[in-house]
Amino acid sequence: MSGQTMKDQTAIAGIGETAYYKRGGAPVSEFQLTLEAILKAADDAGLPVKEIDGFASFSDDRNSPPRLQAALGIPDLSFSNMFWGGGGGGGAGAVANAAAALVAGYSKYVVVYRGLAQGQFGRFGQSRAGGRVSYPASYTAPFGLMSPAQSFAMRVQRFMHDHHISPAPQKAISLTSYEHAQANPRAVMYGRTLTSEDYDHSRWIVEPFHLFDCCQENDGAAAVILTTTERARDLKQKPAVLMAAAQGSDDRQAAPAHNAPDYATSNFKTVAKRLYAMAEIGPRDVDVVQSYENFTGGVMMSLVEHGFCAPDEVEEFMTLETFRAPHGRLPLNTSGGNLAECYMHGLELITEAVRQLRGTSTAQVPDVAISMVCSGPMVQPVSSLILRA
Amino acid sequence: MTTDTASSYLPAGTPLPAPSPDGLDTAFWEATRRHELVVQRCNSCHGYQFGPEWICHRCHSFDLAWERVSGQGRIYSWERVWHPVHPALVNACPYLVVLVELPDADGVRLVGNLLGDPMQEVEIGAAVEAVYEDHPLEEVTLVQWRTLTEFARRRQAV
């Protein structure tokens, strides 16, 4: 398959992040945060900022490429791109789009970025008062089904029912993120441990999600710079080579009012197949995984659909021992992820995947050769990527 | 059979439905006012579909009709909501939301509330029946659900 695909042709050459804040905690504007993340990524790469000539983002990011170009004094913008869809489904997809632009010859250095300041703008998961709602919300909101947690709990509940899964795997995923965050000074939950008892006693948000099954809401920004693998070798950092990326959505997953034919899914079944085909590897070759946690149940299904275990093996496989860095069978969300590092819509999972290849994670897995990211379970579309040293 | 009405399950101020401005689902909301449940059905390939679409997703025909279905369903999934995200629901938690599939309409699904005790045990696969929740002032009717066993109990009590 290689030769016909973009396998290995591009690489992440630089990563940048602002400090991460609780929702509403950023002392500066979202646009400024975004600029700071891009400047840091360029500095990390050892690339003059004005060499950046392409921009890619996702989830309706508010900071437009032409405005960023103007603010950064970039003379020539040759690619600007938005991955469709909300939530974190587009994290790896935006990287894929950046890579495609490089392979196509549109651009030389593309920055993938995400800025979020929810204090400055609206919160996620909150509905406005009163009034009437029309299609398709007319089939959900009048029944009190409004937020992402409420939408996705319904899918996870059915998955747990179909495969006789107890609450234990979700809890293991949550505890893993909080444990890994205790080693990571960037993490918003750094210094805030979560015990098994804390988890058990935490309030329900919507069954089957406890409070600690749900991601945080944060302010901050992150950015990664892609270029061709060849050019990346001339820059400061060891390149994280993009072996493969895939994006998409399974059969009618966006059918309104919860009518996707295959319902109890994270929406990765076809995406994962295409991901491994491009990478020419399988799940057994993966050393470490960052899997987007909007809710822990989504991680559970993502890992299954990426082939790490069968649905009926979830109970046995998905334990803290399996997920714990450095020596678990499948170290997971090693920075703390959306649950405990920062909800930067999963772009912080991609910077962490790069750190694992560089050997600079705060929960470093030894000798990482293959590092995977799964972006945004249960939304449409979703995306994944695989990096190698 | 399914003409019993329910008082409002969620408090006043919870958003109520309005027909889509483009007319896509006007027939659905007119039917609920008559205490009828209708689902889109293709006149060409005869498949059902929901939520409504402008064309049939199977055969791409534009010739779609609304067909009355029985209102008998099965619980496909469910959730108990404990954390309100809407000001009208602050004192309404917990409440039960169910996803109901309609076996006599190709298994299309509708979201609704499961009437009765919000702490009741909910069983995926349980038989449920449509109940019509009128909002006369707003001139709109919601389709809600109750388990057949509770329905049977009530019938006996009457």
Instruction: Return the amino acid letter for B136.
Output: P
pLDDT tens digits, residue range B87-138?
999 999 999 999 999 999 999 999 999 999 999 999 999 999 999 999 999 9
On the question of pLDDT at A1 being above 60, the answer is: no
Euclidean distance between CA atoms A316 and A274, whole angstroms: 27
Q: Based on the structure, what is the number of domains in chain A? A: 1
Residue A199 a catalytic site member? no
Search chain A and give the residue with CA nearest B144. Answer: A143
Contact A247, A6 (CB under 8 A): no
Euclidean distance between CA atoms A149 and A140, whole angstroms: 13
Look at the block and give the residue holding tokens 């979201």: B111
Q: Which pLDDT score is estimated for A120?
A: 76
- Kindly write down the DSSP assignment for every residue of A292-319, as one continuous string: --SBHHHHHHHHHHTTSS-GGGHHHH-S
End-to-end CA distance of chain B: 14
On the question of pLDDT at B24 being above 70, the answer is: yes
**Does residue A302 fall inside a structural domain?**
yes
Euclidean distance between CA atoms A345 and B63, whole angstroms: 41
Residue A21 a catalytic site member? no
pLDDT mean across residues, chain A: 96
Per-residue tokens: B147: 């388990």
On the question of pLDDT at A344 being above 60, the answer is: yes
On the question of pLDDT at A224 being above 90, the answer is: yes
Search chain B and give the residue with CA nearest A255. Answer: B51
Report CB contact under 8 Å: A129, B94: no
- A389–chain B Cβ distance below 8 A for any pair: no
Task: Assign A3 to helix, strand or coil.
Answer: coil
Q: How confident is the model at residue B7 (pLDDT cuts 50, 70, 90)?
A: confident
What is the span of the domain harbouring residue A226?
10-121+214-388
Contact A157, A207 (CB under 8 A): yes
Complete domains list, chain B, with CATH: 26-157 (2.40.50.840)
- Kindly write down the DSSP assignment for every residue of A57-72, as one continuous string: EETT-SS-HHHHHHHH
**Does residue A144 fall inside a structural domain?**
no
Report CB contact under 8 Å: B82, A138: no
pLDDT tens digits, residue range A119-140?
777 777 666 656 899 999 999 9
Query: Who among B20, B57, B142 is closest to A252 (CB)?
Result: B57
**Does residue A88 fall inside a structural domain?**
yes
Q: How confident is the model at residue B154 (pLDDT cuts 50, 70, 90)?
A: low
ipTM for the assembly: 0.94
**Does residue A132 fall inside a structural domain?**
no
Report CB contact under 8 Å: B14, A207: no
Looking at the complex, report in whole angstroms how far the Cα of residue B50 sits from the nearest Cα belonging to chain A: 7
Percent of chain A surpassing pLDDT 90: 94
Search chain A and give the residue with CA nearest B29. Answer: A138
Contact A117, A22 (CB under 8 A): no
**Does residue A198 fall inside a structural domain?**
no
Q: Report which secondary-structure segment, H or E, holds A288.
A: strand A288-291
Which is it for strands A54-58 and A79-83: parallel, antiparallel or unpaired?
parallel
Contact A194, A3 (CB under 8 A): no
In 3D space, the residue among A142, A113, A121, A97 whose CA is nearest the CA of residue A49 turns out to be: A113
Look at the block and give the residue holding tokens 């919860």: A258
pLDDT tens digits, residue range B74-90?
999 999 999 999 999 99
Largest CA distance in chain B: 49
**Does residue A153 fall inside a structural domain?**
no
CATH number of the CATH domain containing A271: 3.40.47.10
Query: Who among A130, A207, A258 is closest to B109 (CB)?
Result: A258
Residues of A in Cβ contact (< 8 Å) with B111? 139-140, 143, 145, 257-258
Q: How confident is the model at residue B157 (pLDDT cuts 50, 70, 90)?
A: low
Percent of chain A surpassing pLDDT 70: 98
Contact A341, A20 (CB under 8 A): yes
- A369–chain B Cβ distance below 8 A for any pair: no
**Does residue A350 fall inside a structural domain?**
yes
**Does residue A189 fall inside a structural domain?**
no
